[in-house]
Every structure is written in C-alpha cells, then in structure tokens.
Amino acid sequence: MARVREEKQTELFAHFLDRLKETKDADGSRLFDSCVVSYGSNIRTGHMLKNGPAFIAGNVDGKLKHGKHIQMPEDTALCNLWLTLLQTCDVPVDSIGDSDGRIEKLFG
C-alpha cells in the first residue's frame, strides 16, 4: 500500500511542477523559472536524521544547478539545505536551526 501512495504523491508532485512550468509570471516568464520547490522527507525512526532525501526543482533565475544526484557527508545538517535555498532566494539570513554552512554543490 505504501508504494501506491508514494507513486500517487510523486505523480501529484510532477503535475504541480508541470503547472508551474505552464503558468506565466507577471513578466511573462514561466513561474517555474523564478521559484524553488523542495520535496522530500526528514521523518525517520526515532530522533535521528540520517539519509533524508530531498528533491529540488525550480530555477530561481538560473542560480541552481540541476540534473545531478548529490550525496552529502553523513553529518551534514538538513538545515544547510534550507539555509542555501533561503539565501538563493535572497532572504538575508546567516543561519537557520543547526546549519553550519551553504551547500555550494547546488550552484552551477
């Protein structure tokens, strides 16, 4: 049953991304090209966060590098991803939660 649910969730997420690509922003560009979307889970057994996958979509004005799988070192804080995405969207923050740096591999 979990597999059916995961397949449906993935289909819905793909549909959402397609809609972002079809929708025009105020300047006529695709809405997808000026946003960032993260899809994944940090839910694990117990209170440990290990091997939590995250899928990043959107273009944020061409700032993010897409099309590759990035495996981070085991002790990398998930908040590093949130910090990186916030800063990429020009949110002026130096840290969030237990972040200790940006994920530079996300940039092209």
pLDDT at 41: 65
62-100 pLDDT, tens digit each: 888 888 888 888 888 888 999 999 999 999 999 999 999
φ, ψ dihedrals at 39, nearest 5°: -135, 125
State mean pLDDT over 6-24.
Answer: 94
* Residue partners of 51: CB distance under 8 A and separation at least 6: 44
- What sign for the dihedral angle of Cα 69, 6, 35, 72? negative
Mind listing the pLDDT tens digit for each residue in 16-72?
Answer: 999 999 999 999 999 999 999 998 865 555 545 566 778 899 888 888 888 888 888
Number of structural domains the chain divides into: 1
Host domain of residue 85? 2-106
Distance CA 57, CA 29 (A): 16
Quote the pLDDT of residue 108: 66
Q: CB burial class (10 A; 0-12, 13-18, 19+) of residue 45?
A: exposed
Dist. CA 17–CA 86, nearest whole Å: 20
Can you tell me the distance from the alpha carbon of 53 to that of 72, in angstroms, rounded to the nearest whole number?
10
